[in-house]
């Protein structure tokens, strides 16, 4: 959560540098006016280096990142794209925007994609899998990648919540074929709005770069209006101000994740003897600890936990209060999803519904309440022992 908590003089210095030296807010062209200042390009290069991949493409949001990733994979009308029941609506919106059919798996106690259900849902129309590291805990990537590879299906990691995390020492977002990130204001690093896509494959990167820019196959040798094009596209370009802020935020990413993890571990320790089950972290996980989720014995108990946490001035994050934006079983405003699930979403994902109904998500920040672990323990003890 706390990218915005650490916004300070470094972000301001990057913006000041942009305005002092260049004043060009568009990522391309105007070369004679910009004094070699290319903030978005510099941000992409720094992000690719941090994530140890050859290519990164900055875009306007995490939703745009998913849409562009699907375009790079040539996802077309009638193709099926599989994702998980617990995610933000954006993941499924990107599939629908690509005119593909969203297919949804159950989650397991990691609260991410259940690999066994993934295997069941693959058909010969499946053209991509989007696994989500919800609230900063890595999905079971080893199993999921093995399944994807066995079927020859590309794997996209929706890393909106997982930026700065690892799985088996590999940065989240780079385990599969394409990784997407969000830098909206609630994320571990933020550019206000914004996103990034990372690629190992140069061709996928080139297709995405063109598609996010009306099809421009950018060639620095020619003026922009002479660019060649091989496909249609759209406009999801990041601007220079976002790039400038991103450069400063990226330098703070490891600090933010370390502080979040420290605070999450303190809470975990203080509530370890309470009758709850902490969400499963797969072996090999290095989570971003954006939130700490635990599972209670009933929805009533989860709601009481929320009430008690509000009383101490903390509240909860997504679970249980905002489940309707994050659980596919409630998205009856999406006809594509309803149709696919025989007209009734309420019964489509029973295992996920049961887990999510009983879950409580503690928001983790850098600057927590004074004596937060003691207050949280007291608040939860009163509810869980009643
Ligand atoms: C899992 C997931 N994917 C994608 C997005 C979309 O990101 P953005 O808000 O930058 O469009 C979000 C946003 O919260 C998200 O939680």
* Each residue's pLDDT tens digit, 323-345: 999 999 999 999 999 999 989 99
State residue 386's pLDDT score. Answer: 73
Q: How confident is the model at residue 1 (pLDDT cuts 50, 70, 90)?
A: low
State residue 235's pLDDT score. Answer: 98
* Each residue's pLDDT tens digit, 97-140: 999 999 999 999 999 999 999 999 999 999 999 999 999 999 99
Residue 362 has pLDDT above 90, yes or no: yes
Whole-number mean pLDDT of the chain?
A: 96
Q: Looking at residues 363-385, what average pLDDT do you find?
A: 92
Residue 374 has pLDDT above 70, yes or no: yes
State residue 222's pLDDT score. Answer: 86
CA of 63 to the centre of ligand 1 (A): 6
Please return the burial class of 350, using the count of CB atoms within 10 Å of its CB with bins 0-12, 13-18 and 19+: exposed
* Each residue's pLDDT tens digit, 343-353: 999 999 999 99
Residue 72 has pLDDT above 80, yes or no: yes
CA distance 238 to 212: 10
Q: Looking at residues 19-32, what average pLDDT do you find?
A: 96
Residue 266 has pLDDT above 70, yes or no: yes
Q: Looking at residues 67-91, what average pLDDT do you find?
A: 98
Q: Which pTM does this prediction carry? A: 0.98
Task: Give the strands of the sheet with 55-59, arranged side by side.
Answer: 55-59, 195-199, 178-182, 155-158, 126-132, 80-84, 101-105
CA distance 262 to 298: 29
Q: How confident is the model at residue 197 (pLDDT cuts 50, 70, 90)?
A: very high
Q: Pocket of ligand 1, candidates 182, 288, 319: which has the most ligand atoms within 8 Å of its Cβ, to mutate?
A: 182
CA of 221 to the centre of ligand 1 (A): 35
Q: Looking at residues 156-184, what average pLDDT do you find?
A: 98
Reference 178, options 162, 196, 200; nearest CA is: 200
Residue 3 has pLDDT above 80, yes or no: yes
* Each residue's pLDDT tens digit, 287-314: 999 999 999 999 999 999 999 999 999 9
Q: Pocket of ligand 1, candidates 1, 4, 59, 88: which has the most ligand atoms within 8 Å of its Cβ, to mutate?
A: 88
CA of 126 to the centre of ligand 1 (A): 23
State residue 322's pLDDT score. Answer: 86
Q: Dump the DSSP string for 104-161.
A: EE-B-TTSSB-HHHHHHH--TTEEEEEEE-GGGPPP-HHHHHHHHHHHT--EEEE-TT
Residue minimizing CA distance to atom 7 of ligand 1: 62
Quick one: which atom of ligand 1 is closest to the CA of 64? Answer: 11
Q: What are phi and psi of 147, to 5 degrees?
A: -65, -45
Largest CA distance in the chain: 71
Give the percent of the chain with pLDDT over 70: 100
CA of 20 to the centre of ligand 1 (A): 33
Please return the burial class of 249, using the count of CB atoms within 10 Å of its CB with bins 0-12, 13-18 and 19+: buried
State residue 186's pLDDT score. Answer: 94
Reference 157, options 293, 261, 53, 238; nearest CA is: 53
CA of 160 to the centre of ligand 1 (A): 5
State residue 376's pLDDT score. Answer: 95
């Amino acid at each position: 959560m706390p990218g915005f908590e650490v916004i300070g003089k470094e972000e301001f210095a990057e913006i000041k540098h942009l305005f002092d030296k260049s004043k060009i807010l568009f990522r391309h062209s105007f070369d004679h006016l910009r004094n070699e200042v290319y903030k978005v390009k510099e941000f992409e290069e720094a992000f690719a280096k941090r994530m140890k991949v050859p290519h990164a493409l900055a875009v306007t949001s995490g939703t745009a990142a998913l849409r562009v990733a699907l375009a790079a994979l040539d996802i077309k009308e009638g193709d099926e794209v599989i994702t998980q029941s617990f995610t933000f609506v954006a993941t499924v919106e990107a599939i629908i925007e690509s005119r593909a059919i969203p297919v949804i798996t159950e989650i397991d106690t990691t609260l991410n994609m259940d690999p066994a259900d993934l295997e069941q849902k693959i058909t010969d129309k499946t053209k991509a899998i989007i696994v989500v590291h919800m609230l900063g805990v890595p999905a079971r990537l080893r199993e999921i990648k093995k399944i994807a590879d066995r079927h020859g299906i590309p794997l996209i990691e929706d890393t909106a919540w997982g930026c700065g995390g690892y799985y088996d020492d590999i940065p989240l977002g780079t385990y599969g074929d394409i990784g997407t990130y969000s830098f909206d204001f609630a994320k571990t690093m933020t550019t206000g709005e914004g996103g990034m896509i990372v690629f190992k494959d140069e061709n996928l990167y080139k297709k995405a770069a063109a598609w996010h820019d009306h099809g421009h196959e950018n060639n620095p040798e020619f003026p922009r209006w002479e660019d060649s094009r091989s496909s249609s596209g759209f406009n999801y370009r990041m601007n220079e101000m976002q790039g400038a802020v991103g450069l400063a935020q990226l330098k703070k990413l490891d600090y933010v994740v370390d502080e979040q993890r420290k605070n999450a571990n303190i809470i975990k320790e203080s509530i370890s003897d309470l009758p709850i089950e902490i969400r499963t972290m797969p072996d090999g996980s290095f989570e971003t600890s954006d939130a700490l989720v635990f599972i209670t014995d009933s929805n009533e108990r989860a709601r009481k936990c929320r009430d008690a946490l509000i009383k101490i001035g903390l509240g909860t994050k997504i679970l249980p209060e905002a489940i309707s934006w994050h659980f596919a079983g409630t998205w009856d405003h999406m006809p594509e999803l309803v149709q696919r699930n025989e007209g009734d979403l309420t019964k489509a994902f029973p295992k996920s519904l049961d887990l999510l109904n009983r879950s409580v998500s503690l928001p983790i920040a850098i600057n927590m309440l004074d004596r937060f672990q003691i207050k949280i323990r007291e608040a939860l003890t009163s509810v869980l022992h009643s």
